[in-house]
């Protein structure tokens, strides 16, 4: 009988000692957590996509607290609402998010690009790329087997006539497709850019012409036409400096192969040829 | 001195807690995917084992045995170890934040690590004195660290190896690999007696 009483008393005493030790430790050695952290974290979407440049939403929330000068509009998927909510928590002025959308810089569809051979392997761009860089003659262009479409979390990409297209309305600018593309022809750019060069080929003009009827032949007509001097030829490819571009459309009209096009709100608007 | 070295070596190699006694299998399989994580977990477990032994040995000898209620051993030890781990975590968070950042995620896992309880109870049942118990705990911790790092190395070869049949991929092949690694530790049986005996 005494053993049971001893045991019960010991268990209670030990439990109490342990509890008191932990309570005291918590009281005297508690590290204060910034109370804004959970609030900011709540504003963020929690997709941990990394578009802000930090390791996940936790990383961005911590960085916002640590660095008061950090902009609140870096969360692209969250959009303006998130930027405003974070700015409210931090007591700062909200800035609009520069929304990014993915653009497939290729227009080498089935009728434009010749095929070197019939590819019958695994139907992914990655596999096709390992096999002589894909079946198309142009080694820079879209392979068209839809690795980007499968990678897209928003189903914003579809492959039509051998080329992938991004629906800008659905695109959240996460950039996963850009990483999935083995030819690296998908680029994230601000949604305000309306004039796009739909070609990624760095081949010389004559070679491009042989491979694809829609490719940039680096004739330089656009560079001369542009009133703002925004277009330059880089490695045989017309490249637009969006700092200078005013979306006037002069280059679009001038381009003999129509590879400079205007982007529609709902995706890339195709010019009737 | 010789006894201490024998205790240390035998608990690292011969009586390896993970590979011979199969204690602490959960972190052994769970945190052994990357070598750096395995090292962190191993070091944290070693530290906790030594501190837990330093606290539980006096409790057993001076409280439980004096009062004649040795049967409370398991409950009391679990209580003490859990409190200790939480306490260590709070202290680390406050005073050594960098260490807490690297070990912090493993500390709650150790709270319920049966290897820690196993070490403290076995030290009592083996009849070690205080210094011997500390060395035994240190050896067990180092043995756990060794097993973790070795197995992390084995796993890094297994991960992403597409020659493994599909049915065996993932956990099955990991368990098979664990059994082979533990089999290899059988080879240390008798080494201590022949070296120091």
* Domain boundary assignment for chain B: 2-188
| pLDDT classification of A264: cutoffs 50, 70, 90 | low
Whether A78 and A127 map to the same domain: the answer is no
Span between the terminal Cα atoms of chain A, in Å: 100
A31, part of any domain: no
- Which three-class secondary structure string do you get for A11-41? HHHHHHHHHHHHHHHHHHHCCCCCCHHHHHH
What torsion, rounded to 10 degrees, do the Cα atoms B166, B168, B173, B174 define?
80
Whether A86 and A129 map to the same domain: the answer is no
Give the three-state DSSP class for A268: strand
Whether A43 and A138 map to the same domain: the answer is no
- Identify whether the C-beta of residue A19 lies closer than 8 Å to the C-beta of residue B79: no
A25, part of any domain: no
- DSSP β-bridge partners for residue A100: A190
Instruction: Enumerate residues 27 to 86 of chain A having a beta carbon within 8 A of any beta carbon in chain B.
Output: 29-31
The pLDDT score that the predictor gives to residue B3 is 86
The pLDDT score that the predictor gives to residue B162 is 72
Q: Is the dihedral of CA B50, B54, B57, B59 positive or negative?
A: negative
B54-64: average pLDDT: 90
What distance in Å separates the CA atoms of residue B197 and residue B195, rounded to the nearest whole number? 6
pLDDT: is A162 or A46 the higher one? Answer: A162
What distance in Å separates the CA atoms of residue B146 and residue B10, rounded to the nearest whole number? 13
- Please count the CA atoms within 13 angstroms of the CA of B55 that sit on its side-chain side: 21
State pTM to two decimals.
0.56
What distance in Å separates the CA atoms of residue B107 and residue A106, rounded to the nearest whole number? 52
- Structural domain count, chain A: 2
A245, part of any domain: yes
Q: B60-111 pLDDT, tens per residue? A: 999 888 888 888 889 899 998 999 888 888 888 888 777 777 666 677 778 7
The pLDDT score that the predictor gives to residue B104 is 62
Whether A115 and A216 map to the same domain: the answer is yes
Hey, what are A1's tokens? Answer: 């009988």
- DSSP β-bridge partners for residue A104: A186
The pLDDT score that the predictor gives to residue B102 is 67
**Chain B interface disruption, residue of A4, A5, A6, most B CBs within 10 A:** A6
List CB contacts (< 8 A) between B69 and chain A: 3, 6-7, 10
Phi, psi of A197 (to 5 degrees): -95, 115
Give the three-state DSSP class for A180: helix
Q: Exposed, middle or buried, B184 (CB in 10 Å: 0-12/13-18/19+)? A: exposed
Q: B135-190 pLDDT, tens per residue? A: 999 999 999 999 999 999 998 888 777 788 888 888 888 899 999 998 888 888 87
Using a CB–CB cutoff of 8 Å, tell me whether A23 touches chain B. no
Domain, as residue range, for A243: 100-268
Q: Is the dihedral of CA B124, B125, B131, B136 positive or negative?
A: negative
Q: Which of A96, A93, A103 is nearest to A69 (CA)?
A: A93
Whether A82 and A133 map to the same domain: the answer is no
**Chain B interface disruption, residue of A7, A8, A23, most B CBs within 10 A:** A7
A10 vs B94: CB contact, 8 Å cut-off?
no
Whether A76 and A157 map to the same domain: the answer is no
Using a CB–CB cutoff of 8 Å, tell me whether A12 touches chain B. no
A259, part of any domain: yes
Q: Characterise A253 by phi-psi region: left (phi > 0), alpha (psi -120 to 50), beta (else).
A: alpha
A117, part of any domain: yes
Whether A247 and A120 map to the same domain: the answer is yes
Is the predicted pLDDT of residue A59 greater than 70, yes or no? Answer: yes
pLDDT: is B121 or A42 the higher one? Answer: B121
A188-199: average pLDDT: 83
Is the predicted pLDDT of residue A271 greater than 50, yes or no? Answer: no
CATH code for the domain in which residue A198 is found:
3.30.70.20
What distance in Å separates the CA atoms of residue A269 and residue A248, rounded to the nearest whole number? 16
A235, part of any domain: yes
A10, part of any domain: no
Rounded to the nearest integer, the mean pLDDT of chain A is 83
Angle, alpha carbons B150-B153-B159 (nearest 5°): 140
Find the farthest-apart pair of alpha carbons in chain A and give their distance in angstroms, rounded.
Answer: 103
Q: A72-105 pLDDT, tens per residue? A: 878 877 777 888 888 888 877 777 777 778 888 8
DSSP codes, chain B: -HHHHHHHHIIIIIT-TTTTS--SHHHHHHS-SSHHHHHHHHHHHHHHHHHHHHHHHHIIIIIIHHHT-GGGHHHHHHHHHHHHHHHHHHHHHHH-HHHHHHHTTTHHHHHT-HHHHHHHHHHHHTT--HHHHHHHHHHHHHHHHHHHHHHHHHHHHHTT-TTS-GGGTTHHHHHHHHHHHHHHHGGGTTHHHHHH-
Whether A75 and A202 map to the same domain: the answer is no
Using a CB–CB cutoff of 8 Å, tell me whether A18 touches chain B. yes
The pLDDT score that the predictor gives to residue B197 is 64
What distance in Å separates the CA atoms of residue A61 and residue A78, rounded to the nearest whole number? 13
Is the predicted pLDDT of residue A17 greater than 50, yes or no? Answer: yes
A13, part of any domain: no
What distance in Å separates the CA atoms of residue A221 and residue A152, rounded to the nearest whole number? 36
> Helix B73-95 and helix B35-58: axis angle, to 10°?
120
The pLDDT score that the predictor gives to residue B103 is 65
- DSSP β-bridge partners for residue A165: A158
Using a CB–CB cutoff of 8 Å, tell me whether A16 touches chain B. no
Domain boundary residue, one of A63, A90, A117: A90
For residues B59-76, b (16+ Cβ closer than 10 Å) or e, as one string? bbeeebeeeebeebbeeb
Q: CA distances (Å), B93 to each of A156, B88, B101, B107, in order?
A: 44, 8, 8, 11
Whether A75 and A106 map to the same domain: the answer is no
What distance in Å separates the CA atoms of residue A204 and residue A116, rounded to the nearest whole number? 19
A222-226: average pLDDT: 89
Whether A72 and A197 map to the same domain: the answer is no
| Smallest Cα distance from A5 to chain B, Å | 10
Q: Is the dihedral of CA A143, A147, A150, A152 positive or negative?
A: negative
């Amino acid at each position: 009988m005494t053993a049971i009483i001893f045991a019960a008393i010991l268990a209670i005493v030990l439990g109490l000692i342990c509890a008191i030790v932990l309570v005291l430790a918590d009281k005297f050695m508690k590290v204060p957590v910034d109370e804004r952290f959970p609030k900011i974290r709540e504003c963020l979407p929690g997709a941990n996509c990394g578009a802000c440049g930090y390791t996940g939403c936790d990383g961005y929330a911590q960085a916002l607290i640590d660095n008061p000068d950090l902009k609140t509009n870096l969360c692209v998927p969250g959009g303006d609402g998130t930027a405003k909510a974070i700015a409210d928590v931090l007591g700062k002025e909200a800035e609009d998010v520069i929304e990014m959308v993915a653009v497939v810089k290729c227009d080498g569809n089935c009728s434009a690009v010749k095929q070197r051979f019939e590819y019958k392997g695994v139907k992914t761009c990655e596999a096709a790329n390992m096999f002589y860089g894909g079946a198309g003659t142009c080694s820079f262009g879209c392979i068209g087997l839809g690795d980007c479409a499968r990678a897209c979390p928003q189903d914003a990409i579809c492959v039509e006539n051998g080329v992938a297209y991004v629906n800008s309305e659905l695109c959240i600018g996460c950039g996963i497709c850009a990483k999935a593309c083995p030819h690296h022809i998908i680029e994230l750019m601000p949604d305000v850019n309306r004039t796009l060069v739909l070609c990624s080929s760095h081949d010389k003009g004559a070679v491009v012409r042989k491979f694809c009827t829609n490719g940039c032949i680096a004739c330089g007509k656009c560079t001369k036409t542009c009133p703002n001097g925004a277009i330059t030829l880089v490695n045989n490819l017309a490249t637009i400096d969006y700092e200078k571009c005013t979306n006037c459309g002069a280059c679009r009209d001038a381009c003999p192969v129509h590879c400079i096009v205007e982007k529609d709100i709902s995706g890339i608007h195709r010019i009737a040829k | 001195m010789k006894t201490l070295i024998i205790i240390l070596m035998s608990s690292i190699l011969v009586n390896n807690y993970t590979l011979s006694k199969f204690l602490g299998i959960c972190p052994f399989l769970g945190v052994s995917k990357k070598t750096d994580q395995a090292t962190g977990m191993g070091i944290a477990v070693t530290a906790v084992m030594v501190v837990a032994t330093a606290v539980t040995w006096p409790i057993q000898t001076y409280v439980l045995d004096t009062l004649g209620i040795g049967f409370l051993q398991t409950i009391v030890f679990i209580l003490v170890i859990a409190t200790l781990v939480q306490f260590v975590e709070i202290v680390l968070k406050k005073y050594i934040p960098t260490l807490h950042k690297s070990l912090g995620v493993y500390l709650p896992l150790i709270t319920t690590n049966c290897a820690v309880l196993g070490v403290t109870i076995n030290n009592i049942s083996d009849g070690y004195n205080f210094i011997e118990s500390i060395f035994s705990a240190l050896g067990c911790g180092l043995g756990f660290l060794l097993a973790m790092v070795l197995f992390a190395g084995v796993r890094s070869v297994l991960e992403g190896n597409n020659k493994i049949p599909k049915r065996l991929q993932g956990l099955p092949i990991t368990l098979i690999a664990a059994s082979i690694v533990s089999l290899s530790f059988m080879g240390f049986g008798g080494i201590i007696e022949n070296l120091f005996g």
